Chains A and B, each alone.
Chain A
């Protein structure tokens, strides 16, 4: 079993802060001078995996949740390894997370479900409050944070939230669950430019060929016939 994020932080704990900072220090003069014409840059293969919005405990919650939503199996790696947690982090750190394109003026009333989102919180604040409330619920009932539960326990907690069998104080457990699931699915199935759907795993799983989409002839020739191609993303074509 892989180490989870919290174990990693514990391991690097004592040397963590200074050690990591030193490792990424770049000499300003060197960084600004152009590379000599003959020099070849090493190919960039690193994928972003550090969080900008989530704290370490929040990231641990999200990683556990998306791994339950999208468990690793013969079809795809788990949600975290597909970049879904990073996707959610980036979305919450960006314009959508801060309530862009939302009417945020009061007064505030709960309303009925058919009236839609009525929380005064931005999506980022809503996630933060939802994670805290879910962890409080897990500590009260199971004496551990969500990410420390067994996979079966996590599934039970998520189902309870989904079905509205538990209530949280700060936010609606069911509303939080629905937003968490919807955002995770956006990351899993969206273009890899946003950090999720790494290696187009979700597109390969279902047979979606991606963004090269010229089917003028195929609409006839592929009636009742599988269209097997390596999917192409915006990232591949940019």
Chain B
């Protein structure tokens, strides 16, 4: 019995302290990774993430592989901590060979982690945005609008991929130029298309706040005389005998209002 004990203590004393410390660091890292994974999963669940991303393509694919987006994210954070722990342990243990390689990996690892997370979040958000837009457009039965949700999805995924690639240090200048051109086109198109609507809404806010005329007043606006039937954010309804004029509010504002009193 005592022979075994002395052999053990001799073995323990031959192993350098550094190795023990490294093993300890590794152990702490593993425990920490597990805890962070569990806490992450709970936090994401508590934040209602599974309900929000329900039905997105990514979540469905994850389900097919018998996992879920939340679990993948939680596992990713665990793996990251394990990897860091391994590197720290190796450094503490002073493993000399391949030092160059490990320092490179240590610098690269957090960026890879962030890139992976950004990519997953981007894909999920893109899917969700596609679903939301498709739902909003479902009332309008216009087949041409079917491309819009897909476009929204790809735009979000494209930006996420761009960020991820930037994180891992790939040259993305050409892609950014492409994105800028695309964003410029979208902004220009939106501005041209909604110019009158925005102007009307701005005038409508004034009309609703100050109420220069109200429902029931007789007015002449933009050449049309009649009784005001309705004022909303974008248009004013003015009715004369059997005719209802729907005037955009920016026209009301530009041409002025004549209140008719008898």
Are the chains A and B members of one assembly?
no
Q: A residues touching B (Cβ–Cβ < 8 Å)?
A: none
Q: B residues touching A (Cβ–Cβ < 8 Å)?
A: none
